[in-house]
């Protein structure tokens, strides 16, 4: 460990009380982005972030958009020419706090409370998502600036205020400020750890594509007394073809669906197996016992690195109370496909159409609506930034970080990739039980403190890249 | 032909103009039973029927119910002890006339118009359903009463006023007047001919049973990013099992479903084949070309004498605009089964449950709602009343009547069977293009005149049974 880092970590230690108070300050601002009643609070939160960045050596400003303002700050390190230039991303907006009566203490009055498993936790809306998380990075920067006089690398910070309401301003803002924001890669602090003792880097995010299929049989709804037995029933046609979508082993039967899907590397599989993921608990908390996916693939593989075909909605015929003896003219289903790196969303959707058309009885027609797709994102973990971050996290936590997948997508990571051609290093310190988006949101005090120490170490490693 | 019948038929001929005017009178009364605005008209129609019955020798009265009144009349024939006692059924209420602007002439101003295929037709709401039809019987009675002094058999006439609004008063009225209404069998004039030249007796009506199945997978709706691939999706489970409901030949795969289903008799099959039913036209008018039912059974067999399993409705997950990446907790489908004579509705529903339960993955549960059923009705056409009616119709039309099936059920026939233990002789003179329930309803003048002659002949044959 370098002397500089040593003094940075010591500074973080000495500054813990003030650091906690700074987090409390920003939590106290009810910056709920979906509710216009809180527009003033959002502006106040943006100002607070810009002031904080300025205080720790950034050239920072609040940048208006047609929605909530962005905060952008630049820190030019003297090491800027040799080390990488990075963009750090967080968001100052929070989810609404309803239902208020389920909070033990008011959502915008943060408190330090004892917790049976974790010692002290910080409570309040945004304590974890994302105020506690982005503050770990700002506190690491503050300590570096204070202890060493400057950051080890040049850093641009972007803090947005619309993450909880769909980030409508991100695309135009990126478009208008492409050069200013495009760095070697992005650091994002909005994800979780593997568990309370084990850090993680999220390195793969599944993509998503969708299609809605409408099957038409007869030209109008028929009475089943008159036509029942003789006329095609589009619900039956739809059920039959959706029933064929998976084989008995849960594999998707769309032609070519797995053509571009890579097998998990042996190392990755071994690492995930070693985690001994608690499938029983994962399924048990939603009332299930049996893993329903593809035979021969473990739980983590099924949700992180295997593609899926899901029927998200189906409707046809009479769905009100009682019975109606109708043979409907139409029936439809909405499907989404979680896809993995190198699967082409257009090819997957085209394969689904082909699957439907090849099974369609002569008299029925199929219409396809609402198709859209975004590719999966997968990062090469052997790259120097990932290795640097992994080493730093291991130094702090005494354990190698888990390279995690994520079954869903994280829109900002896709925007960085598609608009600014940047990979993202996703490091976060949240835990599954942080109650984000729910009453009694909390962030462990150790997550906050060790999070800041982790970033301090990561910044140092990035500076030596 | 007996001399008496000869003079009855001659009377009908002489009386044609007045007979037509009587039909016009009752059509002019807008007795729409679903709309309380026409309650007065319904009462007026009931009075008209009772007066008409009285005029032709019946002891008739308007009988109040909690809904629209019933009309009941009794005619005691001196032949009453030897011949059968019959109950004739019709209904004086009609469907609403909307949309009014699609009528060529006002619905309640009946007219005689030229028709390119049929010569003269009587137009107006109820001209066919059921005023024209029940009047054929009353005109036959009038002619017998006038020409011969009495009817050949004792007849009770029941004319209800709620057929078009679900007949809510029938069950309590039958219950309260069981003895008065229970006769050897019922005559019903509310069905159709095979075609304009060929009379028909409807001799089999499919029954109906139903079940709604609700599949539950996870205990709450899941995000497909988090659980997609690992958790059971109840829509997929439902689609898969409904997709298995029929085999590739369209046969229902429920265990024991066909155990009690009789093959069509060779005679019946030959008669139906000889009809050369126009399947192309039947399917073409609803936009279809291919017969979708069980391989190896003709169209008439499929809709009249084969049981079916139909999915009438299905719903699950997100069905609004756009996409939602949900794995729903529940998905459900409503099914009805058209059943044929000797199939037990309870056994069919139990078989469906067994079919579902045997295919249900470990983690899913199935709930069954809204089960109900009514058996099919099939009459033995070799019975004397059927043979008498068939001979009478052949005398009038110069062609054997077709023994038709009916894919749907006719509630009154089930009520006669289940409540009063009576079989029904279903003879009617409607044609498929009569536009019943639609604008420009019509009844061919020949249907009206030959209908009355047919009943006159049937009454005579019944009197000689």
Does B437 contact A at CB distance below 8 Å? no
User: Which residue in the block uniquely carries the two structure tokens 């009946």?
Assistant: B110
**Cβ pair B286:A238 closer than 8 A:** no
Closest residue of A to B326, CA-based? Answer: A312
pLDDT at B371: 77
What whole-number distance in Å separates Cα of residue B221 and Cα of residue B186?
55
- Comparing alpha-carbon positions, the chain B residue that sits nearest to A325 is B312
Mean pLDDT of the region A372-392: 92
Average pLDDT, stretch B358-362? 95
C-beta atoms of B225 and A334 within 8 A: no
Q: Rounded to an integer, what distance in angstroms lies between the CA atom of residue B348 and that of residue B364?
A: 23
Return the ∠ at Cα A120 (arms to A115 and A125), rounded to 5°: 85
Which whole number is the average pLDDT over B187-209? 94
Distances (CA, A) of A273 to A123, A264, A280, A284, B287: 34, 12, 15, 20, 56
Report yes or no: A323 and B309 within 8 Å, Cβ to Cβ: no
Q: Quote the DSSP letter at residue B244.
A: T
Residues of chain A with CATH 3.40.630.10: 3-204+378-463
- Report residue B207 as tokens: 């029954």
Other Cβ atoms closer than 10 A to A116: 5
| CATH 3.30.70.360 intervals, chain B | 207-261+307-374
Residue B430 DSSP label: B
Helix, strand or coil for residue B307?
coil
State mean pLDDT over A161-182. 95
pLDDT digit string, tens, across residues A300-357: 999 999 999 999 999 999 999 888 889 999 999 999 999 999 999 999 999 999 999 9
Give yes or no for A237 touching B (CB within 8 A). no
Provide the ipTM.
0.84
Best mutation target among B312, B349, B369, B406 (most A Cβ atoms within 10 Å) is B312
Residue B45 carries which DSSP code? Answer: H
Q: Does the CB of A330 have a partner CB in chain B at under 8 Å? A: no
Distance of alpha carbon B314 from alpha carbon B316, whole angstroms? 7
Nearest Cα to B396, choosing from B195, B203, B197, B134? B197
CB contact at 8 A, B56 and B142: yes
Contact B312, B335 (CB under 8 A): yes
Kindly indicate the confidence band of residue B180, based on its pLDDT and cuts at 50, 70 and 90. Answer: very high
* pLDDT above 70: residue A31: yes
> What does the mean pLDDT of chain A come to?
94
Are A218 and B244 an interchain contact pair (Cβ–Cβ within 8 Å)? no
Residue A374 scores a pLDDT above 90: no
Q: Do B318 and A312 touch (CB under 8 A)?
A: yes
- The closest of A11, A15, A23 to A429, measured between CA atoms, is A23
Q: Confidence band (pLDDT; 50, 70, 90) for A1?
A: low
In this predicted structure, the answer to whether residue A436 has a pLDDT above a threshold of 70 is: yes
How far is residue B137's CA from residue B110's CA, in Å, rounded to a whole number?
20
Q: Which of A231, A233, A290 sits opposite B311 (nearest CB)?
A: A233
Is the Cβ–Cβ distance between B327 and B221 less than 8 Å?
A: yes
A261 in B contact zone (CB under 8 Å)? no
DSSP classification of residue B205: E
Distance, in Å, from the CA atom of B273 to the CA atom of B267, rounded to the nearest integer, reads 10
- CB contact under 8 Å between B244 and A243, yes or no, is yes
For residue B157, pLDDT beyond 90: yes
- Identify whether the C-beta of residue B204 lies closer than 8 Å to the C-beta of residue B320: no
Query: What is each CA distance from B309 to A247, A443, B336, in whole angstroms?
Result: 25, 56, 6
Nearest to B327 by CA among B241, B237, B212: B237
Higher-pLDDT residue of B176 and B372 is B176
Q: How many of the other CB atoms lie within 10 Å of CB of B256?
A: 13
Cβ distance of B308 and A229 shorter than 8 Å: yes
pLDDT at residue A308, as a whole number: 96
B455: its two tokens: 């009943």
* Range from A229-233, B60-64, B89-93 carrying the lowest mean pLDDT: A229-233
Picking from B119, B157, B123, B126, the residue whose alpha carbon sits closest to that of residue B140 is B157
Residue B208 to residue A325, Cβ atoms within 8 A: yes
- Residue B351 C-alpha, separation from nearest chain A C-alpha, in angstroms: 19
pLDDT class for A22, splitting at 50, 70, 90?
A: very high
Residue B163: pLDDT over 70 = yes
Yes or no: is domain A207-261+307-374 CATH 3.30.1540.20?
no
Whether residue B296 lies within 8 A of chain A, CB to CB, comes out as no
Smallest Cα distance from B186 to chain A, Å? 23
For testing contact with chain B, the best of A222, A239, A302, A332 (most B CBs within 10 A): A239
Interchain contact A316–B (C-beta under 8 A): yes
The pLDDT, as a whole number, for residue B99 is: 87
Q: Are β-strands B423-427 and B185-188 bridged in parallel, bridged antiparallel, or unpaired?
A: parallel
> In terms of CA atoms, which chain B residue is nearest residue A328?
B312
Residue closest to A297 by CA, chosen among A305, A285, A289: A305
Q: Does A249 touch chain B (CB under 8 A)?
A: no
CATH topology of domain A3-204+378-463: Aminopeptidase (3.40.630)
Report the Cα–Cα distance between both ends of chain A, in Å, rounded: 15
Q: Do A292 and B231 touch (CB under 8 A)?
A: yes
Asked if A384 and A185 touch (Cβ cutoff 8 Å), the reply is: no
What is the C-alpha to C-alpha distance for residues B294 and B314, in angstroms, rounded to an integer?
23
Name, in order, each residue with C-beta under 8 angstroms of A382's C-beta and a sequence gap of 6 or more: none
Put residue A435 in one of left, alpha, beta given phi > 0 → left and psi -120 to 50 → alpha: left
CATH code: domain B3-204+377-463 is: 3.40.630.10
Q: How many CB atoms lie within 10 A of CB A124?
A: 28
- The shortest C-alpha distance from A423 to chain B (Å) reads 21
What residues 378-417 of chain B have any CB closer than 8 A to a CB of chain A?
406-409
Quick: pLDDT tens for A76-124.
Answer: 998 766 779 999 999 999 999 988 999 999 999 999 999 999 999 999 9
* A308 contacts chain B (CB < 8 A): yes
Residues of chain B with CATH 3.40.630.10: 3-204+377-463
Give pLDDT, residue A80: 65
Q: What residue of B is the nearest CA neighbor of A249? A: B229
Which pLDDT does position B374 carry in this prediction? 84
Share of chain B above pLDDT 70, in %: 99
Residue at token pair 């007219």:
B111
Q: Which pTM value belongs to this model?
A: 0.84
- Can you tell me the distance from the alpha carbon of A170 to that of A310, in angstroms, rounded to the nearest whole number? 29
Tens of pLDDT, residue by residue over A240-256, are 999 999 999 999 999 99
| The pLDDT of residue B323 | 82
Instruction: Kindly state the helix (H) or strand (E) to which residue B168 belongs, with its residue range.
Output: none
Q: Kindly report the three-state secondary structure assignment for every residue of chain A.
A: CCHHHHHHHHHHHHCHHHHHHHHHHHHCCCCECCCHHHHHHHHHHHHHHHHHHHHCCCEEEEECCCCCCEEEEEECCCCCCCCCEEEEEEECCECCCCCHHHCCCCCCCCEEEEECCCEEEEECCCCCCCHHHHHHHHHHHHHHHHHHCCCCCEEEEEEECCHHHCCCCHHHHHHHCHHHHCCCEEEECCCECCECCECEEEEEECEEEEEEEEEECCCCCEEHHHHCCCCCCHHHHHHHHHHCCECCCCCECCCCCCCCCCCCCHHHHHHHHHCCCCHHHHHHCCCCCCCCCCCCCCHHHHHHHCCEEEEEEEEEECCCCCCCCEECCEEEEEEEEEECCCCCHHHHHHHHHHHHHHHCCCCCEEEEEEEEEECCEECCCCCHHHHHHHHHHHHHHCCCCEEEEECCCCHHHHHHHHHHCCCEEEECCECHHHCCCCCCCEEEHHHHHHHHHHHHHHHHHHHCC
């Amino acid at each position: 460990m370098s002397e500089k880092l040593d003094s940075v970590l010591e500074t973080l230690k000495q500054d813990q009380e003030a650091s906690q108070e700074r987090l409390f300050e920003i939590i106290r601002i009810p910056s709920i982005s979906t509710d216009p009643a809180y527009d003033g609070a959002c502006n106040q939160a943006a100002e607070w972030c810009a002031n904080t960045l300025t205080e720790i050596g950034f050239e920072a400003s609040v940048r208006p958009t047609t929605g909530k303002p962005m905060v952008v700050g630049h820190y030019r390190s003297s090491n800027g020419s040799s080390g990488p230039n990075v963009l750090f991303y967080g968001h100052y907006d929070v989810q609404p706090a309803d239902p208020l009566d389920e909070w033990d203490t008011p959502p915008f009055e943060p408190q330090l409370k004892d917790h049976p498993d974790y010692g002290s936790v910080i409570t309040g809306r945004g304590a974890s998502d994302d105020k506690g998380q982005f503050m770990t990075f700002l506190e690491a920067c503050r300590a570096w600036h204070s202890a060493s006089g400057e950051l080890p690398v040049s850093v641009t910070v972007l803090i947005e205020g619309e993450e909880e309401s769909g980030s409508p301003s991100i695309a135009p803002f990126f478009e208008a400020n492409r050069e200013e924001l495009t760095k070697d890669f992005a650091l994002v602090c909005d994800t979780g750890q593997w568990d309370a003792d084990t850090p993680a880097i999220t390195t793969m995010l599944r993509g998503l594509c969708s299609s809605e299929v409408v099957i038409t049989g007869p030209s109008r709804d028929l009475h089943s007394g008159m036509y029942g037995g003789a006329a095609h029933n589009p619900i039956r046609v739809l059920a039959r073809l959706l029933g064929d979508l998976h084989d008995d082993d849960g594999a998707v039967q769309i032609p070519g669906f797995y053509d571009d899907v890579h097998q998990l590397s042996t190392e990755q599989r071994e690492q995930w197996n070693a985690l001994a993921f608690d499938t029983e608990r994962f399924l048990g908390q939603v009332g299930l016992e049996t893993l329903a996916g593809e035979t021969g693939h473990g739980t983590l593989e099924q949700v992180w690195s295997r593609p899926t075909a899901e029927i998200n909605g189906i409707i046809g015929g009479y769905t009100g109370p009682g019975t109606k003896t109708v043979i409907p003219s139409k029936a439809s289903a909405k499907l989404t496909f979680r896809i993995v790196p190198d699967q082409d969303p257009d090819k997957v959707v085209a394969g689904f159409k082909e699957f439907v058309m090849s099974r369609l009885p002569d008299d029925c027609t199929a219409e396809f609506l609402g198709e859209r797709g975004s590719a999966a994102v997968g990062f090469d973990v052997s790259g120097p930034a990932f290795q640097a971050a992994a080493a730093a996290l291991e130094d702090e936590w005494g354990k190698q970080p888990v390279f995690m997948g994520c079954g869903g997508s994280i829109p900002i990571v896709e925007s960085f990739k598609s608009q600014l051609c940047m990979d993202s290093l996703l490091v976060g310190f949240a835990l599954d039980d942080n109650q984000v988006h729910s009453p009694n949101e909390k962030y462990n005090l150790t997550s906050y403190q060790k999070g800041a120490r982790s970033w301090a170490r990561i910044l140092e490693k990035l500076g030596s890249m």
